[in-house]
Amino acid sequence: AAYRPHENPLIEYFMKKSRDSRAEKAIPRDAVREMLRSLKKNKALWFASDQNFRHKHSVFAEFFGRLAATNTAASRLTQISGAAVVPFFTQRLENNQGYKVILQPALEDFPSGDNRQDALRLNQLIEAQVRKAPEQYLWVHRRFKDRPEGEENVY
């Protein structure tokens, strides 16, 4: 799993313990070489492609009718490693009965060679899943905080 280390060392300590108990290995999101080593060993790598990584390694692609800074890591990592991109989602079950894991087929023709088109494709997959259970999406995440030049702040 790729993650962003917390700025507070105490919180990061507890978050790391939690991550390590749930994933084979947690990799800081900026540790690209480590991600590539894992992929080349045929390990799965999970990261949230709908997180706003600011302008660094992002393109603006439509998400729910608005342009959103969208990370291009899936395209770049796949192009370098040859790994498949397998979209998966979780959905909370009613009455706190657990989670349903939804695995979709590996994406064909990915990466396409066009980072913006790949980002749009991933955003469309996420948007389709969110529309099925919008109450379960992390709406508090400021997905649209970075704006293209000339566009006003939406928050």
Structure-block tokens of residue 144 = 């649209």
Q: What pLDDT score does 112 carry?
A: 97
Measured CA to CA, the distance from residue 144 to residue 72 in angstroms comes to 16
Mean of the per-residue pLDDT values for the chain? 87
| pLDDT attached to residue 50 | 83
Q: Which helix (H) or strand (E) holds 117?
A: helix 115-132
Q: Would you say residue 55 has pLDDT above 70?
A: no
What sign does the dihedral 24-126-68-62 (CA atoms) show? positive
Higher pLDDT, 80 or 3: 80
Six-digit token string for 126: 């996420």
Percent with pLDDT over 70 in the chain: 91
Q: Kindly report which listed range (45-59, 85-99, 110-124) carries the lowest average pLDDT score.
A: 45-59
Largest Cα–Cα distance of the chain, in whole Å? 46
Q: Are 51 and 95 in contact (CB under 8 A)?
A: no
pLDDT at 122: 97
Residue 23 has pLDDT above 70, yes or no: no
Q: Which helix (H) or strand (E) holds 119?
A: helix 115-132
Residue 110 to residue 15: CA distance in whole angstroms: 32
Predicted confidence (pLDDT) at residue 128 exceeds the cutoff of 80 = yes
Which two three-digit tokens encode residue 28? 């800081």
* Backbone torsions φ then ψ of 131, nearest 5 degrees: -60, -25
Q: What is the pLDDT of residues 30-53, one digit of tens each?
A: 778 988 998 999 988 887 888 776
Q: Which residues contact 150 (CB under 8 A, 6 or more apart)?
A: none
